Structure 1
């Protein structure tokens, strides 16, 4: 298995994960396929929550063989993506990528017909597109097409590295790496109720 050996680039799609499911259902998917889009019209995250996916973001799904299924796969992918983006990205359990205290992106792992579909969404569009309440919770690091392409290459490299490590060494090493990047780990927090 080599993630990224075949790549499908789309300008606009309902959802890269849904596109991956259609490929699998049609018998056209290969282990390691990558689907990238500039915009999603029906992007979604965990629990089918809508994922704001305007033009200019980085929306990517990887199709991998179900043999890589692990309770730690989403955490392993989060480590890979944060490594690709850079040291300032923290991880919020179970699937959020945080930057400067706000959500920069997310990971969605789904099982489908013997495959795992790993969805990755990163806000690389103009931050001016975030309005209202979304601006309070999310952030974006604007990138041009060349910068995004370089980031996709880094993500693919890290995905391959982390999947090999997960298969070879199990989850112990990845759990340590996840904890090193954990958002607000060890901080005292206050909850106001009522």
Structure 2
């Protein structure tokens, strides 16, 4: 069973410090939303590289202002505060994408074969294991990562979800967070250097090459074949009426 208590001191000793991306890693057992907490910290001048981890959120949020909550001790919420220097605003759309790749790579080191679904989900055999929410707060980016750790089948919010426990992963929550933070750093530095990420991401994203349905809003959807991402991280979809690009939207992989 995945252990739920995160050792922030161990994480800080291993991952934070001079020359590293992470400057401060803190942990709370429960909060309303780690993203909301770090957004408030960003407005108060918290430094880039601040990380907040919680083992329970009572007011987690997803797209379209959806509420999300898991029973205490069955998930881990990680929020990252970053202040990118001189990165064009248009490139900020990449942040949830590179985060998804980092989570998938981190889970791979723990023995869980995961895949990235554009723009902000990580799946295992089509079942959602992790959701990502990126927000801009002034000159800061706050990126929230929610990973199902020890949910059992009866606790799943929907049948299309899964957890590390259900996938046979025995890693502690501290190990999970450590692997995610370690995997995020190289991708983030690649992004901050203005490198072309289109091929790098396309090779790692399970959405590319799939027939998809993109929900633009609660009432509008477009169907077609996902052929890649453009230089801004937008999804390129070939539809019966021509190519469309999407900067955001819920995506359904079609069979």
Q: Which TM bucket (shorter chain)?
A: 0.7 to 0.9
Structure 2 distance, partners of 1:150, 1:99, is 19
> Is structure 2 residue 33 aligned with structure 1 residue 15?
yes
Look up the match of 1:97. Answer: 122
Check the 8 A contact 1:3/1:34 in 2, yes or no.
Answer: no
More strand by share: 2
Q: TM-score, normalised by structure 1?
A: 0.84
Q: TM-score, normalised by structure 2?
A: 0.65
Look up the match of 2:95. Answer: 73
2:78 counterpart (60, 78, 97): 60
Off by >6 Å, runs of 4+ in structure 1: none
CA deviation after TM superposition for structure 1 residue 169, in Å: 5.0
2:43 counterpart (10, 17, 25): 25
Q: Cα deviation per residue 1:28-78 (whole Å; 9 max; x = unaligned)?
A: x11100000000000011222112333221100000004355231211111
Structure possessing the higher radius of gyration over alpha carbons: 2
> Is structure 2 residue 39 aligned with structure 1 residue 39?
no
Look up the match of 2:139. Answer: 114
Structure 1 distance, partners of 2:103, 2:55, is 18
Structure 1 distance, partners of 2:211, 2:179, is 34
The alignment partner of 2:102 has SS state of helix
Structure 1 distance, partners of 2:133, 2:205, is 18
More helix by share: 1
Structure 2 distance, partners of 1:179, 1:5, is 30
The alignment partner of 1:36 has SS state of strand
Total equivalences in the alignment: 185
Structure 2 distance, partners of 1:6, 1:183, is 33
CA deviation after TM superposition for structure 1 residue 3, in Å: 3.4
Look up the match of 1:181. Answer: 204
Check the 8 A contact 2:84/2:192 in 1, yes or no.
Answer: no
CA deviation after TM superposition for structure 1 residue 93, in Å: 1.4
Alignment root-mean-square deviation, CA? 2.4
Structure 2 distance, partners of 1:151, 1:116, is 22
Question: Which structure 2 segments of 5+ residues have no match?
Answer: 1-18, 214-222, 224-255
The alignment partner of 1:21 has SS state of helix
CA deviation after TM superposition for structure 1 residue 188, in Å: 5.5
The alignment partner of 1:135 has SS state of coil
Check the 8 A contact 1:3/1:156 in 2, yes or no.
Answer: no
Structure 1 distance, partners of 2:37, 2:211, is 42
Check the 8 A contact 1:54/1:125 in 2, yes or no.
Answer: no
CA deviation after TM superposition for structure 1 residue 129, in Å: 4.9
> Is structure 2 residue 169 aligned with structure 1 residue 147?
no
